[in-house]
Chains A and B, each alone.
Chain A
Amino acid sequence: MSTTEKKTTAMSSDHSGSYLSVRDLVVHFPTSDGVVKATDGLSYTVDRGKTLGIVGESGSGKSVSSSAILGLHRGTNAQVSGEILLDGVDLLTLGDEQMRRRRGKDVAMIFQDPLSAMHPYYTVGNQIAEAYRVHNRVSRKAARARTIEMLDRVGIPNPDRRVDDYPHQFSGGMRQRAMIAMSLINDPGLLIADEPTTALDVTVQAQILDLLQDLQKEFNSAIVIITHDLGVVAEMADDVLVMYAGRAVEYGPTKEILVRPEMPYTWGLLSSVPDVVGDTDAKLIPIKGNPPSLLNPPTGCAFHPRCAHRDKVPGNLCFTQLPDLTPAAAGGTHTKRCHIANPDEVYVAEVLPEIAPDLVEEQQR
C-alpha cells in the first residue's frame, strides 16, 4: 500500500483529485492493411461517485478505449500508449500479473449482452462467486453466501434459489442484474458499463439504470458508461464525452453538452433522438453517411465529409486541419473540437428550431 501511496504523490500531483485520469490514450491495431487507429489521443477524468458518459456511433473507439483501462488488449497485437492513472497508478506500466490482480477488484466491467457475456455452462452463482474468490481467500461457502447477498442487493427474487440457475434460465434484465452483482462483488472503485442497457427492453432499461445509480451512491464508485443513447446520458452522467473516429470531439458537463452543444456531430446525435412527449413537428434527422474508416480517417476534421455546416468555415480548413479541443463559447470546462467560429449562435439559429420547435417557441414567449 505504501508504494501505491508513493506513486500517487509522485505521479499525479497535477490531478490528484480524480480517481481515474486518462491522458493521451492511444490504441492502435496494426493490420496487414495498415494501422487501425481505434483511439487516438483521448483524455478524460472521472471522480469517485461521479459518472462519465462516453457517447458515439459504433466504431468510434468507445469500447476499445475502455477495454484498455482493464488491460484487455494485453496479449494481443494492439499498441497502447498514453497514461491511464487509476488512483494515481499508471495501469499501462503495470506488469500483467499486477494488472490481473486489479481486474474485477479495482476496475470492473459490465458488458452489453449479458447472455453472451455469461458462460452458458456454469451457474450464475458459480460465475459470480468466481469473481469473489479470485480476489479473496475465502471458502466456497463464504463466497456463496456473499453471492446470494449480492444477488439480493441487485434485486433478484429468491436469490438463495436462483443462485443455482444457469444464465439461460434468467430473463434479460435479471441477467444484467447478475452481471452487475458480479462486477460490484469486490466493491471496485471504477465501474465501466459498456452499453449496459442496449440489449434490454425499454422498461427494464430504466430499472437497470436506477439500480446502477443506487449502487453508485452506496459504493461511491466512479462509473464510465458507454452508450449511444443520449437518454441514458441525460439520466446517468455528470459529464459527457462525445467520441468521433477515435477522438473526443466534445467534452463537458452533461447539462452544458445537452443544452448548448457546439459541435455539429453532437447536434447530429441530438437530432437523431426521438422524443415521445415532444412536438410532433420535431424532425428526426439522421446523420447522413457512415462512420469513417479508422484505417484511413478523413483529413482535417474527421467529421467533415458528413458535416452540414462545413461551409461556415472559411477556406478549406475543415479538410486540411484537425481542430484542437478548445474551450467552448459558453466557457467553463466545456470543450469542443470544431472550426466554426460561433457554434453557439448557429445551434440556436439553425439546429434547435429543427429538432425542438416547441423549445424555441417557449423561449420566444
Chain B
Amino acid sequence: MFAYIVRRVVIGVVLLIVMSLVTFLLFFSGAFDPARNACGKVCSPAQIEQTSKALGYDKPILTQWGSFLGGIATGRDYPLDKSVREANPELVTHCAAPCLGYSMVNTDTVNHLLKSAIPISFSIALVAFVFWIIGGLLFGIIAAMTKGSFLDRGIVGFSLIFYAFPTFVIGLLLLRFVAIRWGIFQLPVYVPLTQNPSLWFTNLVLPSITLALFYMAGYARMSRTFIIESSGEDYVRTAKAKGVKRVPLILKHTLRAALTPLVTMAGLDLAILLGGAIITEDVFSFHGLGLLAVTSNSRQDLPTLVGIVLLLSTFVIVANIIVDILYAFIDPRVRLD
C-alpha cells in the first residue's frame, strides 16, 4: 500500500515535469514575444529588451524552463538578472518556493495571484460538490426505484433540461429572481470562511447551485442507470431470495455496487472544478481560478497561465491517486500493488 502510493506520487511528479515543459514550450516559444507582452502597450525597443533581460526571456527556452523548475524547488528573486536587481534594489520581489513565476501584467508573483483565487474556487467547488452528490444520488435512487413511473420520467426529463441549459442562463436567472426580485439571498459576494462561516455559506449558495445543477442532472441520470444495471446482478437476486427488505436491498446491495463508478467520476469532476468554474465565477464576479484564467488569457499573461495549468494538472493527478486508493477501500477485490 505504502509502496504503491510512493510509486504513484513519483509518477505524478514526473508527469507534472513533462506537463510544465509542454506548457512552457507552447506558451513561450509561441507566436508572440513574451517580453513585449509583459512590457505593456507602448514600449520602446529598449524597454522591451530591458524587460526581456529582467524576466530572463533573452535566454534559450530550455534554460528558462530549467530555472523555472529551479524556482519551484528553491524560490526566485525578480528581476531575474542580478545586475538589474543590484541597480534597482527597490524593484526586487522575492518569490518563495514553490515559485511559479512573476506576472508583469499584474505586477505580482503568480503564487500570490493563485493564493487569493484558490479559496474562492475551492469554496464554490466544495459546496457545489455536496449539493450535486446529495441531489444527484437522491434523484437517481428515486428514479431507479420508481423506474418507468411518471416520477421517474419527470426526473429524467428535468435532468435533461438542466443538463442542456447553459450555466450562465441558470446563473443569471437565479441572480435576477432569487437574489434581486425576491431578495431571498443577497447579491453574492465572497466572504472568507475564516471571517464568517455563515456568511461564507449563504453567499456561496447561489453560485454553488448554479454550478451543481448541471452536475446534479448528470449524476442523477448516471446513478439511475448504474442502480438499474446492478439491480439485475445475481447477488441482488440472492439478497432478494433471502428476504431482505426493499430499502436495505437498494441501499446495501444495489447502491453499494453502483457507487464504484460514481466515485471515480466524482473524484475527477471535483478535481477539475477545484481548478475553477469559469462561467459561474464570471456570472457572479467571484475572482477564483476560473476568472483568473480567463483574464490572464485575454491579457496574454503567460506566467499566470502556466501557473494555473500546472496547478490544475496537480489537482487532477492527486485526485486520480486518491480515487485509486479509495477503490481499494470500496472494492475488497482490488489490491494496491
Which residues of A are at the interface with B, using a C-beta cutoff of 8 A? 70, 72, 100-105, 108-109, 111, 113, 116-122, 127, 130-131, 134-135, 166, 168, 179, 182
CB <8 Å contact, B235 and A103: no
Q: Can you offer 5 A-B residue contacts whose CB atoms are under 8 A? A: A72-B241, A111-B241, A117-B237, A130-B242, A182-B238
* Residue B257 is within 8 A (CB to CB) of chain A in the complex: yes
* Residue B239 is within 8 A (CB to CB) of chain A in the complex: yes
CB <8 Å contact, B333 and A102: no
Contacts of B241 in A (CB 8 A): 70, 72, 103-104, 108-109, 111
CA distance A182 to B238 in the complex (A): 10
CB <8 Å contact, A119 and B245: no
CA distance A116 to B234 in the complex (A): 6
Given contacts A117-B234, A119-B257, A120-B235, contact A101 B243 (CB under 8 A): yes
Interface size class of B (residues with CB under 8 A): 10 to 19
- B254 nearest CB neighbor, chain A only: A119
CB distance from A335 to the nearest CB of B (A): 30
In-complex Cβ contact of A100 among B245, B253, B256 (8 A): B245
A-B pairs with lowest CB-CB distance, top 6: A104-B243, A103-B243, A104-B242, A116-B234, A119-B235, A131-B242
Contacts of A72 in B (CB 8 A): 237, 240-241
CB <8 Å contact, A134 and B243: yes
* Residue B118 is within 8 A (CB to CB) of chain A in the complex: no
CA distance A118 to B238 in the complex (A): 7
Having A111-B234, A121-B256, A182-B242, one finds 19 other A-B pairs with CB under 8 Å, namely A102-B243, A104-B243, A105-B243, A108-B241, A108-B242, A109-B238, A116-B233, A116-B234, A119-B239, A119-B253, A119-B256, A119-B257, A120-B235, A120-B333, A130-B244, A131-B242, A131-B243, A134-B242, A134-B243
In-complex Cβ contact of B243 among A135, A168, A179 (8 A): A135
Contact mask for chain B residues 242-274; partner A; CB cutoff 8 A; 1 contact, 0 none: 111100000001001100000000000000000
CA distance A134 to B244 in the complex (A): 6
CB distance from A211 to the nearest CB of B (A): 19
CA distance A85 to B330 in the complex (A): 42
CA distance A104 to B242 in the complex (A): 4
CA distance A96 to B142 in the complex (A): 20
From B237, B238, B239, name the one whose CB has the most chain A CB atoms within 10 angstroms.
B238
CA distance A127 to B257 in the complex (A): 15
Contacts of B238 in A (CB 8 A): 109, 111, 117-119, 127, 179, 182
From A103, A168, A179, A182, name the one whose CB has the most chain B CB atoms within 10 angstroms.
A103
From B242, B257, B330, name the one whose CB has the most chain A CB atoms within 10 angstroms.
B242
CB <8 Å contact, A121 and B332: yes
Contacts of B243 in A (CB 8 A): 100-105, 131, 134-135
CA distance A102 to B243 in the complex (A): 7
Enumerate B2-47 residues with CB–CB distance to A below 8 Å: none
CB distance from A264 to the nearest CB of B (A): 34
Contacts of B331 in A (CB 8 A): 120-121
CA distance A122 to B234 in the complex (A): 14
CB distance from B29 to the nearest CB of A (A): 51
From A70, A117, A135, A182, name the one whose CB has the most chain B CB atoms within 10 angstroms.
A117
Contact mask for chain B residues 312-337; partner A; CB cutoff 8 A; 1 contact, 0 none: 00000000000000000011110000
Contacts of A100 in B (CB 8 A): 243, 245
CB distance from A69 to the nearest CB of B (A): 10
CA distance A127 to B239 in the complex (A): 8
CB <8 Å contact, B245 and A121: no
Contacts of A166 in B (CB 8 A): 332-333
CB <8 Å contact, B234 and A121: no
CB distance from B11 to the nearest CB of A (A): 28
In-complex Cβ contact of A121 among B237, B240, B242, B257 (8 A): B257
CB distance from A191 to the nearest CB of B (A): 11
CB distance from A291 to the nearest CB of B (A): 22
Contacts of B244 in A (CB 8 A): 130, 134
Contacts of B257 in A (CB 8 A): 119-121
Contacts of A104 in B (CB 8 A): 241-243
CB distance from A170 to the nearest CB of B (A): 12
CB distance from B331 to the nearest CB of A (A): 6
CB distance from B145 to the nearest CB of A (A): 10
CA distance A135 to B244 in the complex (A): 9
CA distance A166 to B332 in the complex (A): 7
CB <8 Å contact, B332 and A168: yes
CA distance A179 to B241 in the complex (A): 12
CB <8 Å contact, B332 and A120: yes
CB distance from A151 to the nearest CB of B (A): 16
CB <8 Å contact, A117 and B235: yes
Contacts of B235 in A (CB 8 A): 116-120
- A77 nearest CB neighbor, chain B only: B148
Enumerate B175-214 residues with CB–CB distance to A below 8 Å: none
CB distance from A209 to the nearest CB of B (A): 21
Contact mask for chain B residues 68-84; partner A; CB cutoff 8 A; 1 contact, 0 none: 00000000000000000
CA distance A168 to B333 in the complex (A): 7
CA distance A131 to B240 in the complex (A): 10
- B234 nearest CB neighbor, chain A only: A116
Contacts of B333 in A (CB 8 A): 120, 166, 168
CA distance A226 to B331 in the complex (A): 32
CB distance from A163 to the nearest CB of B (A): 14
- B330 nearest CB neighbor, chain A only: A121
- A120 nearest CB neighbor, chain B only: B333
- A103 nearest CB neighbor, chain B only: B243
CB distance from B243 to the nearest CB of A (A): 4
CB distance from B330 to the nearest CB of A (A): 7
Contacts of A130 in B (CB 8 A): 239, 242, 244
CA distance A280 to B35 in the complex (A): 92
Contacts of A127 in B (CB 8 A): 238
- A106 nearest CB neighbor, chain B only: B243
CB distance from B226 to the nearest CB of A (A): 14
CB distance from A60 to the nearest CB of B (A): 20
